[in-house]
Amino acid sequence: MTLEEFTAALGRDVSRETFARLEAFAALVHRWNPAINLVAKSTLPHLWHRHILDSAQILGHARDDIAHWADLGSGGGFPGIIIAVLLAQDSPQTRVTLVESDQRKATFLAESSRQLGLNPVILTTRAESTRPLAADVISARALAPLPRLLPLIALHAAPQTIALLPKGAGYQQELAEAAADWRFTSTAHPSITDPKAVILELRNLTHV
């Protein structure tokens, strides 16, 4: 994917320096994936569309004045590292925290951050046992269904926190199941990478 194709698909300006960082990260994923399985092998040929662009679109649904972004279950860096790269361009003062309990994947996140010149805080713990982060924005991609995910978000939320969660075609069923124990305001933003998927925006999360 070229810079022009990426910016056109994303609908926002991306500098050549930022795009070069994304290219460097893509190369790292290809290099490490055989040993750690950062992403499904079948998706590697579609890494830019399936993982990088899919992660990058999340930032477009966050407000501009973000002090602290927390990504739960960061895995291979999607979306956490991608968000950190884009924030380094658009909002370098924003703190980024990546929570990943798998030691090997956390090592990959740390080495990738070092090589890309990023400085996120990387916590090698499970989200449920991590100290409350009080983040302005919380993201989590393919971590858990909403009924299991919302307690983690609530733990790390502040009063005005928004959660931005990529979800597939079954998101409405997840919302219905989560509504049994939680109250929240939800908005489903269409995904630019999958017509059946959405970026689920949650606000005002409270336990019943």
127 appears as a binding residue in the annotation:
yes
pLDDT interval class at 138 (50, 70, 90): very high
- Judge residue 188's burial from the number of C-beta atoms within 10 Å of its C-beta, 0-12 exposed, 13-18 middle, 19 or more buried: middle
Predicted confidence (pLDDT) per residue in 41-93, tens digit = 999 999 999 999 999 999 999 988 899 999 999 999 999 999 999 999 999 99
pLDDT for 63 equals 85
Q: Which of 190, 183, 185 is nearest to 169 (CA)?
A: 190
73 appears as a binding residue in the annotation:
yes
Q: Which of 71, 141, 80 is nearest to 113 (CA)?
A: 80
Domain annotation for the chain: domains and CATH numbers: 3-207 (3.40.50.150)
> pTM, whole model, 2 decimals?
0.95
6 appears as a binding residue in the annotation:
no
